[in-house]
Structure 1
């Protein structure tokens, strides 16, 4: 299924890049920004703005704050993930608590997934 870029979301994505959460900022500046495989932040994919996106690995990385654990948040995240899967994208999620309490483990997990998904790609 082709990914449509919803241009109407671009200004909001730009705002989100400028106003990242503390956990997004930590993951970006302390790990993803200098990662050897190119990763984008606050990327518009379809009708969503994903936290981080690695095109080479076809991977979306999402950080979830407390609002993601309400019934509505869980339901919205499930629909979002299902839609992203139709674009042949994998989605991995980490809680803000994971970032704050186990940052090295989060980085290792992301690295492992990217390595696994790019191993046979040029």
Structure 2
């Protein structure tokens, strides 16, 4: 069976150097919600899973990524509520899911006001994935 040339098995899914550079800049300037989430995800704290922050992925930078689970966690700020950004986010989701990855999205507000509920939702996903 021929392999689909649009699929990539690497952790970075054929990402360009420009995206790697963008990811580095984003890591240097996290939002308050990203910083709070990172404090809970780093060092394999959540169910022993390794998450990376501002991870290059295709033509995008995922807020958080766990390669073991093939899981992208996105934290969306206010601008994600615009019609144009919703359309772009939908395209991004389709492209990422086509690579065999799952995406969980949260708003900045959810992370900042109820981080425990956010983490519990991720834990439930992890537990289902590892069954």
Q: TM-score range by the shorter chain?
A: over 0.9
Tell me the equivalent position of 2:117: 105
Q: Is 1:93–2:102 an aligned residue pair?
A: no
Q: Secondary structure at the match of 1:37?
A: coil
Q: What is the CA RMSD across the aligned residues, in angstroms? A: 0.9
Q: Secondary structure at the match of 2:49?
A: coil
Aligned counterpart for 1:32 among listed residues 38, 41, 56: 41
Q: Deviations over 1:65-112 (max 9, x none)?
A: 000000011001000000001100000000011012211000101111
Alignment of 1:1-122 (within 5 A): 1-2=7-8, 3-29=13-39, 31-34=40-43, 35=45, 36-119=48-131
Stretches of structure 1 lacking an aligned partner (at least 5 in a row): none
Stretches of structure 2 lacking an aligned partner (at least 5 in a row): 1-6
With the length of structure 2 as denominator, give the TM-score of the two structures. Answer: 0.86
Matched residues, number: 118
Higher Cα Rg, which structure: 2
